[in-house]
Chain A
Amino acid sequence: MQLLASLRSEWIKFRSVRSTLLSLVATVVICVGFGAIACFAIRTQFASFTGVQRAAFDPTASSLAGFFFAEIAIGVVGILIITSEYSSGLIRATFAATPRRTLVLISKAVILLLVTLVIGEICSFLSFFIGQAILHGATPTVTLALPAARRAVLLAGLSIALLALLALGIGAILRHTAGAITVYVTLLLVLLLIALALPSSWNHHIYKWLPGVLAEEMQSTNSAASTTQYGIVFSPIVSTIVLACYSLASLVIASVVLVTRDA
């Protein structure tokens, strides 16, 4: 009962702020739009691809090329859902209304998971269909009848929801918008750039554990653990499990500090 009431109040806070809706719409538009641009670019260039490039061409991955952007945008949504309460002071009213702070965090996480899962799946299915339609006729294309493509599209949407939860945990731990976004972006993108600058004997051990790589592998059509130039990465299913553990860990740490700290 208490959970239901808490969920309802979090849902009202989430949907009644214009910036939430605008951020989510922007995420979908840019993600799908960039996927379309990438597919269009490949369509015009495919005739001049070499044999190696043609063999490496993956129509599913090309249509999901816009996910890099969606990953950042959705993280900002996940962070703002908690840090905006700290910057406006609303968090004190929230905790006065619901003194069980873990319940507040759980409610926020549930609302965020549901909304970002829907948005993530919209991003991935729209990207996939529009991308394949653009590629059609000029390159090989796939349909959702192919099990690997179906899994890649479904997990791409899920990766967005898991990253949003990871970001929520970071926001709850740091309580500041700027700091939380910086840490999130660092985990997702900057670590990747740093890992690539390290010698191969090192980054073979590091690369596959990076959140950005895990999210990318979830979108892979390769069912088994694939070999990249940065070593063997996890299979899509294992990547999903590892990323889910990161999100859970971030939320568990957040709930511990939330309970022990001032608001």
Chain B
Amino acid sequence: MSQQSLFDTTSAEWIKFRSVRSTLYSLLVTLVLCVGIGGLVSFGRGSDAAQNSAGFLPDPTRVSLQGFGLAEIAIGVVGVLIITSEYATGSIRSTLAATPRRLRVILAKAGVLFAATLVVGELCAFLSFFLGQAILSSKHVTTASLSTPGALRGVVLAGFSLALLALFAMGIGLMLRHTAGSITVYVAILLVLFLLLAALPSNWQHDIARFMPEVLTASMRAASTTRSEFTAFSPLTSTLVMIGYAVASLVGGAAVMLRRDA
């Protein structure tokens, strides 16, 4: 029997990923909700700006990408489930029997997840952007096009942020092995920390806020760099910090998986 390659493992993981109906549904729901809410917010903010501020909107790119708050949660659930569902059903044991080199399983899963969520993320970003700008334009308020400075970067990085969050969530799933616990921890890191922060005095907020995933991804989506109530990192620095989080989470997950029973 010939030695398996990383390519074989990846194609096995791809079959597992695409042949489960819930993956497709989750990704579709992510896309529909993200674009839908982006459209709704564009409609609302567009009407508001037309009435109250003579049609001026500070960052129309960011307005059209407001659906990403929800997409971030949904994509995290996909990232968690790619690994915890195997522990819940016990299929992880067949997986590791077929491919005893666990690091290769993790790499293959991460590769499939990254590719799929990057495609879905960019679809979300570009569709949200075009729909949002079309709605804003129908309200005769400030709009952006992909040639507006920073707009293309905001849209591309918005899609990329979803892929990074999916990897981050997969690392949490690897560490905890349980769906409920992993989703709770993911949501706590993403949203609850952010809300808890509001209870702290403002000069503590500024030092901590820029490191929060929610603030980092918002900065990645922004076309203008002077956006924030917090002193956020620039979009490129934010991207690097998010990459750091995703890698750290996967390395942590890989470290415990290599040592532990399945």
Contacts and interface: CB of A to CB of B under 8 A. Distances in A.
A185 B191 contact: yes
Contacts of B70: 186, 190, 194
Contact of A190 (B63, B73, B199): B73
Given A189-B195, A199-B44, A200-B48, A181 B69 contact: no
Chain B contact patch, size range: 20 to 34
For the side of the interface on A, what is the size category?
35 or more
**For B74, B80, B192, which residue has the most chain A Cβ atoms within 10 angstroms?**
B192
Contacts of A45: 201, 203-204
Given A45-B203, A69-B188, A185-B73, A178 B48 contact: no
A69 B88 CA distance: 26
User: Which residue of A65, A76, A178, A201 has the most chain B CB atoms within 10 A of its CB atom?
Assistant: A178
A199 B40 CA distance: 11
A177 B178 CA distance: 10
B196 interface: yes
Interface string A83-99: 10001000000000000
Contact of B81 (A80, A83, A178, A200): A178
Task: Report whether over half of chain B's contact residues are helix, strand or loop; otherwise say mixed.
Answer: helix
B41 interface: yes
Contacts of B81: 178
A259 interface: no
Contact of B180 (A44, A76, A198): A76
B204 A72 contact: no
B201 A42 contact: yes
Given A34-B196, A41-B200, A199 B180 contact: no
Contacts of B192: 68-69, 72, 189
B73 A72 contact: no
Nearest to A66: B196
Given A87-B88, A198-B44, A199-B48, A182 B183 contact: yes
Interface in A145-181: 177-178, 181
A66 B37 CA distance: 29
Interface string B208-230: 00000000000000000000000
Contact of B187 (A185, A193, A198): A185
Given A190-B69, A201-B48, A72 B184 contact: yes
23 contacts: A38-B196, A38-B199, A38-B200, A41-B201, A45-B204, A65-B196, A68-B192, A69-B188, A72-B188, A177-B183, A178-B179, A182-B73, A182-B74, A185-B73, A185-B187, A189-B195, A190-B70, A190-B191, A194-B66, A197-B41, A197-B63, A199-B45, A199-B48
Given A197-B41, A197-B63, A197-B69, 13 more contacts: A34-B196, A38-B199, A44-B201, A45-B204, A72-B184, A177-B180, A177-B183, A181-B183, A189-B192, A193-B69, A194-B70, A197-B45, A199-B48
